[in-house]
A and B are shown apart, each in its own frame.
Chain A
Amino acid sequence: GDQVEQSPSALSLHEGTGSALRCNFTTTMRAVQWFRKNSRGSLINLFYLASGTKENGRLKSAFDSKERYSTLHIRDAQLEDSGTYFCAAERGSALGRLHFGAGTQLIVIP
């Protein structure tokens, strides 16, 4: 069955505002990655976390293995942030085998 539940499936933000994406895991995960799929279809690496939080510009991600979730916060959204965001997680017993969420389609509105 699906091990990663990603929400919301779609999100619209006005420029300058922010929101959070979330992935819940049905089992304990060792690490999580967050990606953005750009307009050309390429997956761009955003974060890799084995624990705690990381921040990069207007993006911040957190991963709690024990509570089985990860979040991606976007603040001061810009038009170029539009795209589909995916989380992907792996179990410690199956290194390298990423389980992907279904994605969040983000549209930033002027």
Chain B
Amino acid sequence: GGIITQTPKFLIGQEGQKLTLKCQQNFNHDTMYWYRQDSGKGLRLIYYSITENDLQKGDLSEGYDASREKKSSFSLTVTSAQKNEMAVFLCASSIARGDTQYFGPGTRLLVL
């Protein structure tokens, strides 16, 4: 088995601030994903990466950057936090595209 670690667990930011969320997986999976979940809604894909240094836009990429520094890690940057924004950001990984995705515990964001 493996595990997905997301840091930080909670993130409080200021309006306009650049915020970075990190994700690590030890499954040795090729593909990693970042999703955003808003209250009462399903997850929406922000970015994904099929291999180291690869980056693919999802449905919600505007306002975000991402970086796949190495196979085991995938970071997400909120380029300019929006006031009163509140969401959970979930990282996932899979052996390859189209395979079962496994999720991390999430980072909860609150922007004051």
- Contacts A86-B42, A86-B43, A103-B42; is A98 near B88 (CB within 8 Å)? no
A33 and B100 within 8 A (CB): yes
The A31-83 residues at the B interface (CB cut-off 8 A) are 31, 33, 35, 40-43, 45, 48
Chain A contact residues, majority secondary structure? strand
Nearest residue, chain A, Cβ from B108:
A41
Number of interface residues of A (CB under 8 A): 24
Nearest residue, chain A, Cβ from B4:
A42
- Contacts A35-B103, A41-B106; is A88 near B98 (CB within 8 Å)? no
- Contacts A95-B97, A96-B97, A97-B48; is A45 near B102 (CB within 8 Å)? yes
Nearest residue, chain A, Cβ from B106:
A41
Binding site for B on A (CB under 8 A): 4, 6, 30-31, 33, 35, 40-43, 45, 48, 86, 88, 90, 95-103
